[in-house]
């Protein structure tokens, strides 16, 4: 009997302490809140908006591609660093050249859209939908994979405010070469 009575007393004491002094036991739990960059938010919103436009045309949603994301990001970064805005790089590379260089693969179908100066993903999507060529790329039935690279314009660039956006579309998704994967932020996640 004694152990049961003692156990009951300890339990009552513990409950009374919890009831009378809840703050001493309820320590705030620190949780790590993942930080999402404005660029990542923009990219996610842009892909969602593009996929909404594709759904209106009864087309499949585009699937994100790490390789295409990196190729697009590298082109947007290059345009910002070298102060130009064009599909052709200052060294003469075309979109398909950048793809081939990063993947060592030939491509069957590949497309690129650029946007500059818009402040929101909706403004970019609206601008592309109003442009015959950009709209055709976004709504092309062969487009299966998408990569989006965004950087902020600045006072030193032709695009002084808003975003510099590169959208790459492809019928196939292939991994980056090992050399290219070393400088690709998402490559670690995909074990390229």
Q: What's the confidence (pLDDT) of residue 103?
A: 84
pLDDT higher than 90, residue 55? yes
Q: C-alpha 23: how far from its chain's center? A: 42
Each residue of 96-145: pLDDT tens digit?
Answer: 888 888 888 877 788 999 999 999 999 999 999 999 999 999 999 999 99
What is the token pair recorded at 41? 């938010």
**Do residues 185 and 70 touch, judged by C-beta distance below 8 A?**
yes
Beta carbons of 147 and 68 less than 8 angstroms apart: yes
Beta bridge partner(s), residue 149: 166
Residue 24's pLDDT is what? 44
Residue 72: per-residue pLDDT: 94
pLDDT given for residue 21 in this prediction? 46
Binned at pLDDT 50, 70 and 90, residue 36 comes out as confident
For β-strands 145-152 and 163-170, DSSP reports them as: antiparallel
Tens of pLDDT, residue by residue over 166-192, are: 999 988 888 888 877 777 777 655 443
Neighbours of 79 (CB within 10 A): 26
What value does the mean pLDDT take over residues 68-84? 93
Query: In this predicted model, what pLDDT tens digit does every residue of 86-105 receive, in sequence order?
Result: 999 999 999 988 888 888 88
| pLDDT greater than 80 at residue 14 | no
CB 53, CB 45: distance < 8 Å: no
Q: For residue 134, give the 3-state DSSP assignment.
A: helix
């Amino acid at each position: 009997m004694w152990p049961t009575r003692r156990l009951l007393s300890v339990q009552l004491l513990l409950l009374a302490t919890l009831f009378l002094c809840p703050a001493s036991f309820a320590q705030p739990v620190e949780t790590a809140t993942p930080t999402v960059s404005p660029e990542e938010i923009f990219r996610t919103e842009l892909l969602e908006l593009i996929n909404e436009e594709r759904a209106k045309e009864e087309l499949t949603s585009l699937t994100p591609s790490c390789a295409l994301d990196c190729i697009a990001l590298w082109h947007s970064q290059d345009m910002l660093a070298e102060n130009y805005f064009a599909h052709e790089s200052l060294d003469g590379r075309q979109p398909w050249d950048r793809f081939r260089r990063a993947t060592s693969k030939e491509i069957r179908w590949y497309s690129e859209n650029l946007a500059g100066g818009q402040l929101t993903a909706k403004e970019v999507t609206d601008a592309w939908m109003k442009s015959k060529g950009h709209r055709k790329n976004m709504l092309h039935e062969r487009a299966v994979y998408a990569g989006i690279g965004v950087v902020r314009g600045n006072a030193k660039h032709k695009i002084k405010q808003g975003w510099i956006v590169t959208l790459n579309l492809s019928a196939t998704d292939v991994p980056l070469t090992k050399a290219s994967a070393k400088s690709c932020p998402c490559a670690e996640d995909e074990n390229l």
